[in-house]
């Protein structure tokens, strides 16, 4: 018999494991999931208790062969995919593929890829957790049932290629709702009044009017403000009351996934997706001069704020030795989890606080260092003494009628703030220096300042605030947030403009159709309750089949009704209040393959189309087309002059004999873009592929014969046929994990060749 086999999820973990147990075990990786539901069919037998039909993933055939080869002569296999639901599913699928008489499978949960973490996992093997697997199964089936049965409706009613998702659609709804709140918002004017005051000795300070005749101040317009200012100019200002107190501030707990994503977005300008990719690398192991890779942080998908006692104790030792004994605690600080939080993992923390960011900086990439520095400081700060802040509030009277207030704060003892500040602990207003005064002290009035303000609408969601909103409402789980944010952008439902999410026209249309026909699926409370139900499945208190049965009975009714009742906008578009400038009929917003545009409802008699803009209130206005009426050449079909026009792919030549002659040509020269030297793969097309820019500035590749030929690709075509399926061309792709490679554009073909 050969050595026992450890199977991990990610290939990058193999080096780290070999460093510690390589002599005792063989080690292999599944490289993620090896089985999944089929791509072309639903893959779920609804009539047979939602039984799933799993198939081997095409790209994983070599991985599966290798796993079977390594497992051939061993009867003991340790399943070590990531310690979460997805990892549990991977473990079960590996078991199914490698099952054999007398073969024993152990489930090990490696929460940190260190010698201690690995040995602890091997010393305490578990049986695979069927309840956790059922929870993952339930989520996967729910997502498949929703996605594969609603998406075809959208293809039929809107356009092909669209998709709906059980959680992603709710995220789009949240963004659309916020946009509509902004459009409906009515700005209101208000005024504030402040007084620049001076005591006997400097510094001067600024106090704000808070009450008039014991009522909270409310000034609606300049006339009211001016009247108050004139009255105040006659009054004497006297210190009425002084309030002092010392505030004790405790540090925040170590990071959970959602909080790490929010801070990385706000502080480091990382996306949620990038944050998780960098954190994954820190978890899986990096060479830091200790004779092999070492995991630097604990598992990065966690809802729990729990920390191991020995980790907390190590932090106390570090703080005493390196920061100062006055910053350490007499006993470690532990944090309570919120209700229903799964406590399978610790919070995200450094595997050793003695691996300080500065000490290992030279071994990390700039992004790895920034994220590790954030995680390390937050954890160490969580074990430091609380901060002590002295706060003083001075209340000032100008006659019995007017009451002003000013507050100031000073740090008495910084505590954890020495290392890590959760927010701007002291605002500029709070930190202004205040004079030493006593009650009854008269004050000199330097100036009375009225200031106009306007109420602001609620802001759009950034990645950080959307993650916070999803978390607050129980939508999805922290491990899924990065994927949700990526999908809703990739599908074109929202755009990220100046770091804020703005719903696209397509996003609004799809959202409104889904809200109308599937109110439960798009209901925030319903979606949050489903997450709780999945947690109950994991705990074993709810059966997977029962959850799916309860969901599907209601969903099927909505699905059947939607197939009849869902409004079709395909070819019709969404009405606007604009009149066609050519014929006076109504303009509708239509959705084409290349974006949204205005089109006349009088088509085909009137062929007017135009790009458009929306203002802050959602109003639509026509964007005038760029048309150069200077003759460029004669039409080769009818002999009439051809002029330059602007279309959705840029400039092109059009015959002035339209609509009798519909001949068009591409614009030659620089405006056509860079020719990449590849023939257009479309049958009977004589064009070549040129590099172009979309309206949003993204590079894509299209045919030089546009608009007669509409071939387009986001990936760069390569003039070489696929050896497996005979596709006339391949495309060039590049990822961080795999580098540059060639891939077949045919989705049914798995050909791939690394460059």
Residue 70 domain flag: yes
Q: Are residues 400 and 436 in the same domain?
A: yes
The catalytic residue positions are 299
Residue (of 248, 208, 237, 194) closest to 437 by Cα position: 237
Structure tokens at 4: 């026992």
CB atoms within 10 A of CB 174: 21
CATH number for the domain that contains residue 68:
3.40.50.140
Q: Are residues 154 and 75 in the same domain?
A: no
Intervals of the chain under pLDDT 70: 1, 339-344, 422-432, 593-594, 624-632, 646-651, 666-674, 693-697, 707, 736-737
- In this prediction, residue 737 carries a pLDDT of 65
Residue 618 domain flag: yes
Residue 144 domain flag: yes
CATH number for the domain that contains residue 289:
1.10.290.10
Q: Are residues 473 and 556 in the same domain?
A: yes
Q: Are residues 325 and 471 in the same domain?
A: no
- In this prediction, residue 637 carries a pLDDT of 83
Q: Are residues 592 and 530 in the same domain?
A: no
- In this prediction, residue 427 carries a pLDDT of 43
Q: Are residues 273 and 124 in the same domain?
A: no
CA 206 to chain CA centroid, Å, is 41
Please give the Cα distance from 357 to 369 (Å, whole number).
7
Residue 326 domain flag: yes
- Residue finishing a domain among 602, 624, 646: 624
3 state SS of 577: strand
CA 97 to chain CA centroid, Å, is 34
pTM of the model: 0.76
Structure tokens at 266: 């706000």
Q: Are residues 325 and 282 in the same domain?
A: yes
Using left for φ > 0, alpha for ψ between -120 and 50, and beta otherwise, residue 211 falls in beta
Residue 224 domain flag: yes
CATH number for the domain that contains residue 410:
2.70.20.10
Count structural domains, the chain.
5
Residue 641 domain flag: no
Residue 743 domain flag: no
Strand partners, 244: 392
Please give the Cα distance from 199 to 205 (Å, whole number).
9
Please give the Cα distance from 194 to 206 (Å, whole number).
7
Interval 701-742: pLDDT, tens = 888 777 677 888 888 998 888 877 778 889 988 776 677 888
Bridge-based pairing of strands 26-29 and 5-8 is parallel
Q: Are residues 373 and 274 in the same domain?
A: yes
Domain region containing 202: 189-250+387-454
The angle, 0 to 180 degrees and rounded to 10, between the axes of the packed helices 168-184 and 505-517 is: 110
Say if CB 375 and CB 297 are below 8 A apart: yes
Please give the Cα distance from 508 to 587 (Å, whole number).
18
- In this prediction, residue 192 carries a pLDDT of 97
Return the residue matching tokens 């005979």. 726
Structure tokens at 70: 């390594």
DSSP letter assigned to residue 158:
T
């Amino acid at each position: 018999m050969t050595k026992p086999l450890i199977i991990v999820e990610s290939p990058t973990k193999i080096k780290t494991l070999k460093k510690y147990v390589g002599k005792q075990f063989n080690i292999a990786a599944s490289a993620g999931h090896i089985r999944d539901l089929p791509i072309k069919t639903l893959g779920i037998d609804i009539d047979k208790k939602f039984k799933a039909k799993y198939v081997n993933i095409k790209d994983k055939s070599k991985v599966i062969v290798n796993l079977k080869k390594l497992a051939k002569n061993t009867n003991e296999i340790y399943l070590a995919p990531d310690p979460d639901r997805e990892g549990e599913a991977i473990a079960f699928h590996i078991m199914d593929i490698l099952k054999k008489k007398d073969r024993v499978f152990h489930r090990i949960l490696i929460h940190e890829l260190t010698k201690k973490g690995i040995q602890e996992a091997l010393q305490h093997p578990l049986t695979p957790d069927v309840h956790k697997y059922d929870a993952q199964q339930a989520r996967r089936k729910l997502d498949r049932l929703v996605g594969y049965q609603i998406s075809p409706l959208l293809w039929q009613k809107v356009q092909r290629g669209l998709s709906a998702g059980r959680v992603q659609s709710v995220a789009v709804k949240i963004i659309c709702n916020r946009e509509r709140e902004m459009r409906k918002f009515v700005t209101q004017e208000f005024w504030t009044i402040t007084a620049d005051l001076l005591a006997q000795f400097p510094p001067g300070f600024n106090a704000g009017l808070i009450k008039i005749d014991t009522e909270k101040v409310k000034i609606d317009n300049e006339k009211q403000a001016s009247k108050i200012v004139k009255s105040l100019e006659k009054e004497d200002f006297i210190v009425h009351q002084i309030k002092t107190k010392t505030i004790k501030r405790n540090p925040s707990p170590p990071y959970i996934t959602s909080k790490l994503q929010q801070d990385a977005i706000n502080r480091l300008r990382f996306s949620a997706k990038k944050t998780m990719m960098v954190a994954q690398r820190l978890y899986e192991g990096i060479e830091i001069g200790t004779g092999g890779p070492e995991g630097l942080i604990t598992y990065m998908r966690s809802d729990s704020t729990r920390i191991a006692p020995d980790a907390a104790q190590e932090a106390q030792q570090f703080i005493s030795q390196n920061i100062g004994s006055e910053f350490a605690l007499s006993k470690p600080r532990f944090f309570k989890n919120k209700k229903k939080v799964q406590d399978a993992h610790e919070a995200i923390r450094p595997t050793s606080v003695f691996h300080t960011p500065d000490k290992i900086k030279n071994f990390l990439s700039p992004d790895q260092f920034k994220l590790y520095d954030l995680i390390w400081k937050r954890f160490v700060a969580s074990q430091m003494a609380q901060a002590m802040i002295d706060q003083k509030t001075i209340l000032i009277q100008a006659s019995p009628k007017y009451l002003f207030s000013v507050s100031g704060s000073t740090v008495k003892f910084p505590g954890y703030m020495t290392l890590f500040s959760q927010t701007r602990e002291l605002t500029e207003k709070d930190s202004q220096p205040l004079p030493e005064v006593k009650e009854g002290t008269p004050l000199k009035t330097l100036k009375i300042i009225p200031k106009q303000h306007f109420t602001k609408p609620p802001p759009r969601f950034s990645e950080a605030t959307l993650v916070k909103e999803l978390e607050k409402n129980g939508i999805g789980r922290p491990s899924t947030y990065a994927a949700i944010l990526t999908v809703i952008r990739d599908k074109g439902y929202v755009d990220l403009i100046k770091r804020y999410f703005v719903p696209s026209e397509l996003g609004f249309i799809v959202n409104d159709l889904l809200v109308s026909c599937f109110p439960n699926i798009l209901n925030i409370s319903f979606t949050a309750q489903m997450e709780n139900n999945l947690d109950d499945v994991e705990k074993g208190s709810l059966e997977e089949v029962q959850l799916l049965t309860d969901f599907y009975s209601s969903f099927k009714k909505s699905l059947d009704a939607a197939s009849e009742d869902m409004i079709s906008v395909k070819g019709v578009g969404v009405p606007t209040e604009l009149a066609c400038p050519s014929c006076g009929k109504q303009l509708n917003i239509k959705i084409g393959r290349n974006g949204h545009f205005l089109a006349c409802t009088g088509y085909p008699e009137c062929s007017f189309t135009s790009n458009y803009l929306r203002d802050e209130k959602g109003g639509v206005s026509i964007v005038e087309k760029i048309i150069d009426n200077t003759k460029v050449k004669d039409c080769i079909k009818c002999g009439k002059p051809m002029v330059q026009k602007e279309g959705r792919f840029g400039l092109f030549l059009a015959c002035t004999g339209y609509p009798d002659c519909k001949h068009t040509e591409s614009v030659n020269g620089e405006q056509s873009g860079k020719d990449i030297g590849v023939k257009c793969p479309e049958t009977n097309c004589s064009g070549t592929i040129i590099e172009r820019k979309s309206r949003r500035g993204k590079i894509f590749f299209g045919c030089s014969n546009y608009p007669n030929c509409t071939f387009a690709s986001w990936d760069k075509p390569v003039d070489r046929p696929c050896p497996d399926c005979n596709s006339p061309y391949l495309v060039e792709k590049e990822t961080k994990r795999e580098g540059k490679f060639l891939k077949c554009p045919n989705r049914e073909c798995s050909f791939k060749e690394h460059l």
